[in-house]
Structure 1
Amino acid sequence: MAGQSRPFSAFEFMIAWRYLRARRAEGGVSVMTWISLIGITLGVAALIITLAVRAGFRAEFVDTILGANPHVTVYSAPTEVVEGSGVYSRIIRDYDARAKRIAAIPGVTDAAPLVKGQVMATFNDRNNVGEVFGIRKADLEKIPGVAHSDQAIGSLDNFDQGIAIGSGMARDLGIGLGDKLRLLSPEGAKTAFGTSPRVSAYTVTYIFSAGRYDIDQTRIYMPFTEAQSYFNREGGADEIDVSVTDPENVDNWTPQLMEAGGEGTMLWTWRDSSGSFLKALTMEDNVMFIILSVLVLIASMNITSGLIMLVKNKGRDIGILRTMGLTEGSILRVFFLCGAFTGVIGTLAGLVVGVVFSLNIQHIMDGLNALNGGDVWDASVRGIYELPAKLQVMDVVKSVGLSLGLSFVVTIFPARRAARLNPVEALRYE
C-alpha cells in the first residue's frame, strides 16, 4: 500500500521533519543542521547584499554622470582657419544653426552650444584648478544635477550677472554667495608681445552639488557670451552638448546627429568616456557572483555531511521502514526532504537578512562612520558621496535560485545512499 502512495506524500514530510528536529541523543544531527542553516543564510545574504550594492553603485554612478554631463558631445574636426596658413581650429562658427538642426531630431531633448576652458581659481590666499563651462542660462536650467540640486545654495535667476560653482570648490576656497572669485586663464588678450594671461573677478551667484566629487571640486559655469569673450571665442563655440530621451541607447542617434551636424562633425558619447569603467563594473559583478556562489556551495556541502551522519544514525529506522513497505523512492524522498528543509529555511532566512540589510545600508554606513570616528566611504576615491544599494528582482531571484538549486543537488547523494541501504544489513545487529 505504501508503495502505491504518491511521491512526496504527507507521511514523507512528517518523517523528514521529525528526523530534522531530532536531538543528538535520538540519533539526530541538530548541530550539523544549525551549521548548515547558518552557513546558507549568511551565504545568500552576502550574495544579495553584494549584488544590491553593486547595482546601486552603478545606477548612482550613471545618474550622476547623466545628471551633470551631456549624453553626446558634438564637436568639429580641425579645419584650417585661412587656407594655406597652416593654423587649424576646432571652433564651431555656425553653432546656433547646427544646434537648431540637432534639436529638431526626434528624441533629442536639448542641444546647447558650449565654450570650455581651464582656469586657475583664487579667493583670498587659496587656489584651485577649475574647468569653466560657458553656457546660456536657459540651457543650464535643463541640467538636472546642477539646476535641481538638493544641496544648492542661491538661485540661477542672477546667473547672467555672475557664475555658478561646485560645492567642493566653494568649500576648499572658503567662498560663499556674493563673494568675488578671481579666474586666471592663459588664453588672455593678444598683444604685439604675445598673449598675456587674463584675470577677471566674478560674483558667485549659485553653488551646486551634482552628486559627484570630481564635478563639485572643479566645475564652474559662466554665461555663454562672457565665456566667449573671456576665452577669445567671439562668434564661436567649442562644442554642442546634446541630451536624448534614452541615454542607455545613445548610439541609436549617431547617424542622425552626424547628418545634422554636417561635414566634419565628430561625436563623443557618455559611454565613450565611461564605458571602460562600466565594463569593469560588469566584470567585477560577475567575478563577485562566482566567488560568493562558491561560499554558498561550501555552506550547502554541510548539508551533505549532516545527512550522511543522519543516514548512519538512522540505519535501524530505515530498515524498519523498508520492512513496513516503504519503497526505495520513499526513503530517498524522506532524506531528500531533510536536506531540502535546511536549504529552503536557510535560503528564506538569508533572503530576509539580505533584503533588510540592503534597504538599510545607509543607516549601517552611518553607524560604521560613528564607530570608526571618520568617513568610511571616501568620496574622493569612489566619486560619489554615498554607498547606495538597489535591490533588483533578477538579482534576488538568481541568489535564491542558486541556493535552492545547490541545496537540492547536494542532498541527492546521501538520500540515494539511504534508499539503497539493505534492510537486512541494517537490522542484523539490532
Structure 2
Amino acid sequence: MSGPAPFSRYEFMIAWRYLRARRTEGGVSVMTWISLIGIALGVMALIATLAVRAGFRAEFVDTILGANAHTTVYMAPERVENEFTDDVYVVPGRIRDYDAMAATLADIPGVVRTAPVIRGQVMASANDASNVAEVYGVTLDDLKAMPRIVDPATSAGDVDDFESGIAIGSGIARELNLGIGDRVRLIAPEGARTAFGTTPRVNAYQVVYVFSAGRYDIDRTRIYMPMAEAQSYFNREGVADEIEVFVDDPERVDDWMLPLLRAAGEGAQVWSWRDASGSFLSALDMEDDVMFVTLSVLVLIASMNITSGLIMLVKNKGRDIGILRTMGLTEGAVLRVFFLCGAFTGVIGTIAGVVLGVLLALNVDGIMAGIDALTGGGAWQPEVRGIYRLPAELRAWDILRAVALSLTLSFIVTIFPARRAARMNPVEALRYE
C-alpha cells in the first residue's frame, strides 16, 4: 500500500504551524522575521537597481538617437592649395553631389531617411555673454524629423519659422539670456580667405526656436541653421559636410556599415552612434553585471539566515520530530516539512521584495526630487550625468531573474537543516522526554 504523495496537504499544514510564533520559541520567530525582512530588502534593492540602470541606459540612448544621426557618412580629408600663398593644407572632405548621394543611401534596405548636413564651430555672443557652439545646417523637414528637437513639451517658439532664423538649445539660451525674437551674434573663425589670411565671419541671427533635447551637452552647445544659410556662412556653397543616415533598427546599426560604404563610393567613411558612445554603453553593461552580482551576495547573506532559523527550529522540535517519526512519517516527509518551513520564508520574503522594488522603481522620480530638495539641488547633476533626470524602466526579465535568484538561494540553503531533521533518530529524540 503506497503512502501519501510528496508535498501533501498535511506537510504544508505542519510546516506552517511550525513557522507560527509562540512565546516559548521566540528565538525561532525572530530569526524567521530577520530572514524574511533581509530577503525582501535584498530583492527590493536588486529590482530597483536593475530598473534604474535599465532606465538610465534607455534614456541615454533615446537622447542620442532622438537628436543625432544613427550613422554619418562623410568623405576623407582633402589637400587644398591656398590660391594666394601657394601653401598646401588639409581640409575636411566635402560631399559635392550630396542630393544624389543621399538618394542612393536612402535606397538601401532598412534605411529610413537621409539628411545632408553642414557642420561648423562658432562663438555665440549676446547680452555681454558668450559660449562656444556647434552649428548644424539642415533643412526644415530634416529638423522636424528629430523627435527630441521638435517636442512641444520641451521647446519654445514655432519650428515653422526656422527658415527666417535659427534654433538654439535651451542651455545656450539660458547662458546667453536669450528668448524667442532675440538676436545672437555668431562668429566663425573660418570666414573669407584673402591675401592676408582668413578673416572671421560675423553674422547676427534671430532666435525663432528654443529646444531641449534632454541632454545637457547638446542643449548647451548646439545651434540649428537653415541649410542654405549655413552653406553661405561657412563657405560651403554647393557642398555638404556629411550625410546623416537613420535606420529602422539603431541597435543593429553595424549591419549597415558595409552597404553604406559601398553605396557612398571611394573615399567615403562611416561613423555610427555606437562608435561615439559604444565604450560608455559597454561600461554600463559591465556595471549592470557587477551590480547584479554584488546585490546577489546580499540576497545570499539574507538567505543564510534561513539556515540559522531552521537549525534552531529543528533543535526545538526534536520531540515533535520523534513523535512524527513513530507515527509513521518517513525521512522524506520530515525533510519536506522543514524544507517547506524555509521555502515559506523565502517565498513570502521574495513576494514582499518584488512589491517593494516595483513601488520604489515606479516612484524613483519623486524620491529623487525629495532627495534633491533636501540636498539643495546637488543630488543629480546634469552636467556630470548628461541627462536631466534619473528614470526607471521595469523589465519583466529583470524581475524574473531577481525572483529566480532569491527563490533558488532560499531553497538551496534550506536543504541542509531539513536533511538534519530528517536523519534525526526518533529514539534519541524521545529518550529524555
Same fold (TM over 0.5): yes
Tell me by how many angstroms 1:227 deviates: 1.0
1:236–1:70 Cα change, 3 Å: same
- The residue type equivalent to 1:291 in the other structure is T
- The residue type equivalent to 2:128 in the other structure is D
| Match among 280, 284, 287 for residue 284 of structure 1 | 287
Paired residues of 1:135 and 1:222 also in contact (CA < 8 A): yes
Alignment of structure 1 residues 7-18 onto 2, 5 Å: 7-18=6-17
User: What is the percent sequence identity of the aligned residues?
Assistant: 68
The 2-side partners of 1:108 and 1:6 are apart by 61
Alignment of structure 1 residues 5-404 onto 2, 5 Å: 5-26=4-25, 29-81=28-80, 86-89=88-91, 90-404=93-407
1:150–1:325 Cα change, 3 Å: same
The 2-side partners of 1:15 and 1:289 are apart by 36
- The residue type equivalent to 1:22 in the other structure is A
Paired residues of 1:134 and 1:221 also in contact (CA < 8 A): yes
| Match among 414, 419, 425 for residue 428 of structure 2 | 425
Paired residues of 1:27 and 1:310 also in contact (CA < 8 A): no
The 2-side partners of 1:211 and 1:397 are apart by 31
The 2-side partners of 1:21 and 1:177 are apart by 69
Find the residue that maps to 2:148 and give its secondary structure: helix
The 2-side partners of 1:394 and 1:388 are apart by 18
- The residue type equivalent to 1:55 in the other structure is A
The 2-side partners of 1:7 and 1:109 are apart by 59
Question: Which range is displaced more, 219-228 or 286-295?
Answer: 219-228
The 1-side partners of 2:382 and 2:25 are apart by 57
| Unmatched 5+ stretches in structure 2 | none
1:149–1:329 Cα change, 3 Å: same
Paired residues of 1:213 and 1:380 also in contact (CA < 8 A): yes
- The residue type equivalent to 2:68 in the other structure is N
Question: Which range is displaced more, 104-113 or 14-23?
Answer: 104-113
- The residue type equivalent to 1:73 in the other structure is T
The 1-side partners of 2:122 and 2:298 are apart by 51
The 1-side partners of 2:278 and 2:27 are apart by 55
The 1-side partners of 2:27 and 2:339 are apart by 15
Paired residues of 1:24 and 1:30 also in contact (CA < 8 A): no
The 2-side partners of 1:121 and 1:26 are apart by 75
The 2-side partners of 1:407 and 1:72 are apart by 47
Tell me by how many angstroms 1:366 deviates: 1.7
The 2-side partners of 1:28 and 1:172 are apart by 63
Paired residues of 1:77 and 1:265 also in contact (CA < 8 A): yes
| Unmatched 5+ stretches in structure 1 | none
Find the residue that maps to 1:429 and give its secondary structure: coil
Task: Render the CA deviation track for 1:156-196: whole Å, top value 9, x for unaligned.
Answer: 21111110000011011111011110111110111221111
- The residue type equivalent to 1:72 in the other structure is T
The 1-side partners of 2:269 and 2:377 are apart by 45
- The residue type equivalent to 1:67 in the other structure is G
- The residue type equivalent to 2:61 in the other structure is V
Paired residues of 1:27 and 1:313 also in contact (CA < 8 A): no
Paired residues of 1:27 and 1:314 also in contact (CA < 8 A): no
The 2-side partners of 1:223 and 1:27 are apart by 77
Paired residues of 1:28 and 1:313 also in contact (CA < 8 A): no
Q: Normalization by structure 2: what TM-score?
A: 0.96
Tell me by how many angstroms 1:149 deviates: 4.7
The 1-side partners of 2:220 and 2:299 are apart by 42
Question: Which range is displaced more, 42-51 or 352-361?
Answer: 352-361
- The residue type equivalent to 2:67 in the other structure is A
1:131–1:423 Cα change, 3 Å: same
Find the residue that maps to 1:171 and give its secondary structure: helix
Tell me by how many angstroms 1:375 deviates: 4.1
The 1-side partners of 2:229 and 2:147 are apart by 23
For the pair 1:414 / 2:417, whether they are aligned, the reply is yes
Question: Which range is displaced more, 88-97 or 325-334?
Answer: 88-97
Tell me by how many angstroms 1:93 deviates: 1.1
- The residue type equivalent to 2:337 in the other structure is V
Tell me by how many angstroms 1:78 deviates: 2.1
Q: Give the aligned CA root-mean-square deviation in angstroms.
A: 1.6
Question: Which range is displaced more, 314-323 or 368-377?
Answer: 368-377
Q: Normalization by structure 1: what TM-score?
A: 0.97
Task: Render the CA deviation track for 1:300-337: whole Å, top value 9, x for unaligned.
Answer: 00000000000011111111111111110011000000
The 2-side partners of 1:22 and 1:358 are apart by 33
Tell me by how many angstroms 1:88 deviates: 4.0
Find the residue that maps to 2:132 and give its secondary structure: strand
